[in-house]
């Protein structure tokens, strides 16, 4: 059977009944793996030579890792014209013939295009799996054999800045987005004989729980923490929803350029990607990307940082690397 037997389904923003089927496959390979590369905070500036290192980083990581999917977690463009910058970055992935999805950050719409138009540009690039502009969607990952759904990838738009005058700082994932997630998750669980499917989530701005976890001296943390988590001042409850639904194993975000850590918090891994951009914004780590390898049939994945220079850093496996062993059982 050809590779075209596999399908990726993108669930719309509104209801479960509104589904858009993809013609490009996304499925576990014969080894039972699905490799994802997360690029974040490219901060690409048209005409700025400092952005060339971001494009070089994208090329190198894709050449070496050969992923099945790329996820951009926001702040892709950082000057005008935004369309030219967005196309330049995404076409860099498209030429590698790797499917991709994009969720925007807080800086993308500060240039000369609004969010709706930016998503329209994203969808026009060959290889994009998104079919409509929306605040959240889910990708189904099929089994290596057959067409049964084996895992889920939730992607949320975490918006930009607080819309409330009395609340300063960044915006939050909204109640309707969380309600949508609960409906979709519950339906997939019901369809899977009441067993939650292994799932990951991606968005730009870290949840408030990131700061809580990173400052807990008992939490297991791998990676670099050089700044406080720049989270919303209000907690809208997405992390609670993840815990109650029981499917999401990890969140992957960007936004904070000097953080690339992953920390276990109440059974869910809270992870940053590695800053991908050049010296168009603050950064004190070699630019790179986070790589995630999902394991079919297990609530498990392996992850590491791949730098533009070729180094591999912080290779860990969820959940094993983040669980304290029982010293009483040691011989």
Residue 10 has pLDDT above 90, yes or no: no
- pLDDT on residue 230: 98
Give me the pLDDT at residue 328, please: 84
308-317 per-position pLDDT tens digit: 999 999 999 9
Residues 6+ apart with CB under 8 A from 95: none
3-state secondary structure of 194: coil
Taken as a whole, the chain contains a residue count of: 331
Amino acid 133: pLDDT = 73
Range of the domain at 202: 26-321
The mean per-residue pLDDT over the stretch 192-219 comes to 98
**What mean pLDDT, rounded, does the chain reach?**
92
Torsion of CA 316, 318, 322, 327, to 10 degrees: -100
> In terms of pLDDT, which residue wins out, 4 or 247?
247
Q: What is the Cα Rg of the chain in Å?
A: 19
Identify which of 197, 211, 191, 199 has the alpha carbon closest to the alpha carbon of residue 255.
211
152 in Cβ contact with 139 (< 8 Å): yes
Query: Residue 149: which H helix or E strand, with range?
Result: strand 149-156
Residue 319 has pLDDT above 50, yes or no: yes
pLDDT surpassing 70 at residue 23: no
Query: Does 192 fall in a domain?
Result: yes
CATH of the domain at 60: 3.60.21.10
Residue 201 inside a domain? The answer is: yes
Q: What angle, rounded to 10 degrees, do the helices at 175-191 and 238-245 form?
A: 10
Main-chain phi, psi angles of 93, to 5 degrees: -80, -40
pLDDT at 124 over 80: yes
Tell how far CA 53 is from the center of its chain: 21
d(CA 203, CA 138): 12
Counting other chains too, the contacts that 86-91 makes at CB distance below 8 Å and 24 or more residues apart are: 86/44, 86/118, 86/121, 86/122, 87/121, 87/125, 88/44, 88/46, 88/55, 89/42, 89/44, 89/54, 89/55, 89/58, 90/122, 90/125, 90/127, 90/128, 91/125
Residue 25's pLDDT is 62
Residue 330 has pLDDT above 90, yes or no: no
> Over 90: is that where the pLDDT of 28 sits?
yes
Please tell me the distance from the alpha carbon of residue 188 to that of residue 325, in angstroms, as a whole number.
33
What's residue 24's pLDDT? 59
Residue 24, sorted as left (phi over 0), alpha (psi -120 to 50) or beta, turns out to be: beta
Burial (CB count <10 Å: 0-12, 13-18, 19+), residue 16: middle
- DSSP code of residue 169: S
- pLDDT value of residue 131: 84
Total domains present in the chain: 1
Residue 20 has pLDDT above 70, yes or no: no
Return the closest-CA partner of residue 290 out of 77, 36, 27, 57.
Answer: 36
Confidence (pTM): 0.93
Tell me, yes or no, whether 289 lies in a domain: yes
The percent of residues above 90 in pLDDT, for the chain, comes to 88
pLDDT digits (tens, 9 = 90+) for 231-252: 999 999 999 999 999 999 999 9
């Amino acid at each position: 059977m050809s590779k075209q037997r596999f399908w990726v389904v993108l669930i719309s923003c509104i209801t479960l009944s509104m589904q858009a089927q993809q013609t490009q496959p996304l499925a576990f390979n014969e080894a039972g793996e699905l490799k994802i590369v997360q690029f974040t905070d490219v901060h690409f500036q048209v005409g700025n030579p400092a952005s060339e290192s971001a494009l070089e980083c994208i090329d190198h990581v894709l050449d070496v890792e050969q992923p099945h999917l790329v996820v951009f977690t926001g702040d892709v463009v950082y000057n005008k014209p935004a369309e030219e910058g967005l196309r330049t970055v995404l076409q860099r992935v498209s030429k590698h013939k790797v499917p991709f999805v994009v969720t925007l950050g807080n800086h993308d719409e500060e240039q000369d295009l609004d969010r709706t138009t930016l998503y329209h540009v994203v969808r026009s690039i060959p290889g994009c799996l998104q079919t409509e502009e929306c605040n959240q969607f889910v990708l189904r990952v099929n089994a290596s054999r057959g067409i049964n759904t084996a895992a889920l990838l939730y992607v949320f738009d975490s918006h930009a800045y607080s819309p409330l005058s009395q609340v300063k700082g960044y915006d939050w994932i909204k109640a309707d987005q969380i309600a949508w997630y609960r409906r979709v998750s519950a339906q997939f669980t019901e369809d899977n004989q009441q067993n939650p499917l292994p799932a990951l989530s991606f968005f730009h701005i870290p949840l408030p729980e990131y700061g809580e976890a990173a400052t807990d001296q008992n939490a297991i943390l791998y990676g670099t923490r050089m700044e406080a988590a720049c989270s919303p001042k209000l907690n809208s409850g997405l992390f609670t929803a993840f815990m109650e639904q029981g499917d999401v194993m990890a969140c992957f975000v960007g936004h904070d350029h000097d953080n690339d850590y992953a920390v276990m918090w109440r059974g869910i891994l809270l992870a940053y990607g590695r800053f991908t951009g050049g010296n168009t914004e603050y950064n004190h780590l070699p630019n790179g990307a986070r790589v995630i390898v999902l394991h079919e049939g297990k609530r498990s994945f392996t992850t590491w940082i791949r730098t533009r220079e070729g180094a591999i850093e912080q290779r860990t496996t969820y959940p094993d690397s983040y669980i304290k062993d029982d010293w009483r059982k040691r011989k």
